[in-house]
A and B are shown apart, each in its own frame.
Chain A
Amino acid sequence: MFLILAALALLLLSGLGALGLSAFSRKAACLAVAGIVLACLLGAVPVLRFFLNGQEVSFSLALHIPYAAFSVALDGLTAFFLLPILVLSALAAIYGLEYMESWVDKKSVGVSWFFFNLLIASMIVVVIARNAVLFLLAWEVMSVASYFLVTFEDERKEVQKAGMIYLAAMQMGTAFLLALFISLGQTSGSMNFDHFRDVSGHLASVIFVLAVIGFGVKAGFVPFHVWLPEAHPAAPSHVSALMSGVMIKMGIYGLMRILIFLGPPPVWWGGLLIAIGIVSGILGILFALAQQDLKRLLAYSSVENIGIIALGLGVGLLGMSAGIPIIAVLGWTGALWHVLNHACFKGLLFLGAGAVVHETGTREIDRLGGLLKKMPWTGGCFLTAAAAICGLPPLNGFIGEFLIYFAAFNGVAQESRVFLFSLGVMASLAMIGVLAVACFTKVFGTVFLGEPRTEYGLKAQEIKGLMLAPLLILAAGCAAIGVLSPLLVPIFSRVLPEVTGLSADIVQENLRRATGPMVFISASGAGIVLLGGMIAFFRRNLLKGRKVERSLTWDCGYAAPSPRMQYTASSFAQPLTGFFGALIRTRRQIVRPQGIFPKEASLATRTPDIFEQRFYRPVFERIYHAVLKLRFFQHGRLQFYILYILIALLALLIWKLK
């Protein structure tokens, strides 16, 4: 525990140092990044120690805040979530050092680094906290720190708007969490987590729903996802990588932590999570497919992946309520595995997208093209992550989804309700997978293949050294988690007994049943890699001594090829977005060509979020107009304000004494 606390102290100190040095942006950035990397290394020691010999540690310190105590501990769930936090934070920080270079002379980068350190520290405290007040404090610091990171370019209107949406969403989520912890605390008489055990009955259901909403806002469950597509494009890329890769998983962590406190789940809990998972997964990837902004697309894809995690959780809960250990174990393992995977490949995708934005200066997919020739390493890493996120073997994305499939297959043989839900899970997972392939084919094809569509990509160069290294490490991670998956199974046998309430033996026995197929998968994965290597080797051999020359991409029979002849991202996605038009409501503006020699014609499509357009905006506008009437009271006259206070005081006195 000492090492984690030391890491926290280091993060805060280096953050403060960066704040103090904000006049010297470069030094501030170096200090902050050095602090982060060192802190992550320090923090990783107890995590690894836990996974190697199961050593749980805890630490407690009384605080003067009522009901609060600085009680922290490291158990399976905490250690598991610390893993992506520590790794991705360090990598994103190293990447950010170079990425922020272009702002060094324009803005106070030190302040941004201070909040970056604060965000990492608060995430660590969120997962180690064992007291509700401490947890909520860290949760709020996390929201506020990330708000300031999102609004880094605060001179731009859309960034301000994104920041406001983000902050409002986070505050509303926290309101639900407050209600949740107060009701938990009232039943157990303490705000410490170890007193929360085994709440049951109606109260448990109320708490579960509060947790799904409160943590769902952070995680990005549909329909609470509206902040993601706004905040992620607005934030600097290393920040979006950290937020999407790790911070939204804090919602999943919170949900899992609360589920430990609640008694055996009724069937509908699993059903609710599965329903949320299906809706989030399918709508998330459909909206991603329709986006034209690279980072907005990745944000929607995060919604989809959170949906997959919710599916896994739902299947796990279903298995727990039906009393079938294998479904419970594999569902939870799938969800946890996908948490790890998503941190890996979504972090990589955002960093890759950041590199593209950094080099070209635009996020519009339809303006880019042909970047693979100019940025081969970035392109390769991006391709790896894209393949992984689509769930293609042998990369890591496949393993997580495979486990959820495997759990659902076990559910099909069961009684009717479990059967029905399992079938739904399999069907929707399959559909999500297909749409994800379409979506990332579109992104990679448009951005990296072909020819540059506009002048934006012409001057792009490969990113260098410190900025590229995190991408390579993450890409290697994607491949390693996929190919070496059987070796990682022991990690889960340490985490699962606590969250599922099953004994360690049952967990291990059920995990073993999945290990067999996983060995097969990694063997064939290794086979594929080997085959690829052999083909490359043969190609080199065959081409040896022959002349290899590069030519135009579009050079087969066209007299005057132009980059504008290429498929655009929108046209590539059109068959699918058209098919699901009823769900995603893409808007088009067409100026049709007219006459024999048409002069001008244009087509523009835009896909706004239906939940924002149809639900949140009207509701908030109503509220705004209702509240506007109260402006009558706020006229700026000091005298009247004091009168209000006086009237309130007198009314209270008279009410009390009457």
Chain B
Amino acid sequence: MSSGIDSVLMGIILMNLWLVATSRISACIKIVAFQGILVAFLPFVAHASSVTVETSLFVLATVALKGFIFPWLLFRALREANVRREVEPFIGYPVSMVFCVFIFLISMWLGARLPMPRPVFSALVVPVSFATILIGFFIIISRTKALTQVLGYLVIENGIYVFGMALLVEQPVLVELAILLDVFVAVFVMGIAIFHISREFDHIDTHHLSQLRDWTAPKEEVRP
């Protein structure tokens, strides 16, 4: 039983690594979708003995959203924004991999230290969820395109979902539903925003957004 959970968790981690090493945006979207589906099935694997109708419905909804609707929205945005299909990272792929391994090590350390309210079904759950959240952040920070930011956001959400599994054994459904709704709205809005950004600026490169800041460096300080 435990080995089943552990293999799913390892799968999630491997997908994180795969994601940071992938250069094509469309492939990235697919990886995140697949990770979402994998994560969604965690309740089945973790609490195989107590599967209820509610849990099944919830898993189904999650799979539908993360596995199909989000990718569809993102692909649409990608098509309409009509940008180069490359990720264009700030940090190169090999270095990103090293970073991610490093993040995983930190997460292992943190996970061993973090006091939990009740015993967790697998020792890997907390480290994996931490690593996924942090790698999501890492993707947001190290990639330039607005679309990859959304992907990072989704990865963070997957991490939170795993953490929620560990923490809320009985009633993860309610909390997760709320988060899922948030994420859905966020992805929806970001999809529209990306479309509008690309229409206005001819690109979805976020580091050009710094032109919008309200403060410009003073050329020469005028002393009164």
How far, in whole Å, are A640 and B213 apart by their CA atoms in the complex?
14
Cβ contacts under 8 Å, B211 to chain A:
636
Residues of B contacting A: mostly = helix
| A 619-658 binary contact with B (CB < 8 Å = 1; else 0) | 0010001001001001111111011001000100110011
Query: Could you tell me the distance in whole angstroms from the C-beta of B215 to the nearest C-beta in chain A?
Result: 7
Cβ contact within 8 Å between A639 and B110: no
Q: Which of A397-447 contact B (CB under 8 A)?
A: none
Q: Which of A166-185 contact B (CB under 8 A)?
A: none
Cβ contact within 8 Å between A642 and B141: yes
Cβ contact within 8 Å between A639 and B142: yes
Closest B residue to A658 by beta carbon equals B113
Cβ contacts under 8 Å, B223 to chain A:
621
Closest A residue to B211 by beta carbon equals A636
Cβ contact within 8 Å between A637 and B207: yes
Q: Which of B26-77 contact A (CB under 8 A)?
A: none
**Contact status of A646 and B213, CB under 8 A, knowing A639-B206, A639-B207:** no
Cβ contact within 8 Å between A657 and B141: no
Q: Is B140's beta carbon under 8 Å from chain A?
A: yes
Residues of A contacting B: mostly = helix
Q: Is B210's beta carbon under 8 Å from chain A?
A: yes
**Contact status of A634 and B114, CB under 8 A, knowing A639-B141, A646-B141:** no
Query: Could you tell me the distance in whole angstroms from the C-beta of A314 to the nearest C-beta in chain B?
Result: 37
Cβ contact within 8 Å between B137 and A639: no
**Contact status of A646 and B114, CB under 8 A, knowing A634-B215, A639-B90, A639-B206:** no
Q: Is B165's beta carbon under 8 Å from chain A?
A: no
Query: Could you tell me the distance in whole angstroms from the C-beta of B176 to the nearest C-beta in chain A?
Result: 22
Cβ contact within 8 Å between A657 and B113: yes
How far, in whole Å, are A480 and B183 apart by their CA atoms in the complex?
69
Cβ contact within 8 Å between A657 and B110: yes
Query: Could you tell me the distance in whole angstroms from the C-beta of B178 to the nearest C-beta in chain A?
Result: 21
Cβ contact within 8 Å between B217 and A631: yes
Closest A residue to B114 by beta carbon equals A657
Choose one: B137, B206, B221; the contact of A646 (CB below 8 Å). B137
Query: Could you tell me the distance in whole angstroms from the C-beta of B23 to the nearest C-beta in chain A?
Result: 18
Cβ contact within 8 Å between A653 and B110: yes
How far, in whole Å, are A643 and B209 apart by their CA atoms in the complex?
16
Q: Is B174's beta carbon under 8 Å from chain A?
A: no
How far, in whole Å, are A628 and B215 apart by their CA atoms in the complex?
12
Query: Could you tell me the distance in whole angstroms from the C-beta of A158 to the nearest C-beta in chain B?
Result: 14
Query: Could you tell me the distance in whole angstroms from the C-beta of A653 to the nearest C-beta in chain B?
Result: 6
Cβ contact within 8 Å between A646 and B110: no
Cβ contact within 8 Å between B209 and A636: yes
How far, in whole Å, are A640 and B91 apart by their CA atoms in the complex?
13
Cβ contact within 8 Å between B207 and A646: no
Q: Which of A586-606 contact B (CB under 8 A)?
A: none
How far, in whole Å, are A634 and B215 apart by their CA atoms in the complex?
9
Q: Is B9's beta carbon under 8 Å from chain A?
A: no
Cβ contacts under 8 Å, B206 to chain A:
638-639
Cβ contact within 8 Å between B140 and A631: no
Closest A residue to B206 by beta carbon equals A638
Q: Which residue numbers of A lie inside 8 Å of B, CB to CB? A: 617, 621, 625, 628, 631, 634-640, 642-643, 646, 650, 653-654, 657-658
Additional A-B contact list (10), CB under 8 Å, known A638-B207, A639-B141: A635-B213, A636-B211, A637-B207, A637-B210, A639-B140, A639-B142, A650-B134, A654-B110, A657-B110, A658-B113
The 18 sampled A-B contact pairs (Cβ below 8 Å) are: A631-B215, A634-B213, A634-B215, A635-B210, A636-B209, A636-B211, A636-B213, A639-B90, A639-B140, A639-B144, A639-B206, A639-B207, A642-B137, A643-B141, A646-B141, A650-B106, A650-B134, A657-B114
Closest 5 CB pairs of A and B: A636-B210, A636-B213, A657-B113, A646-B137, A639-B141
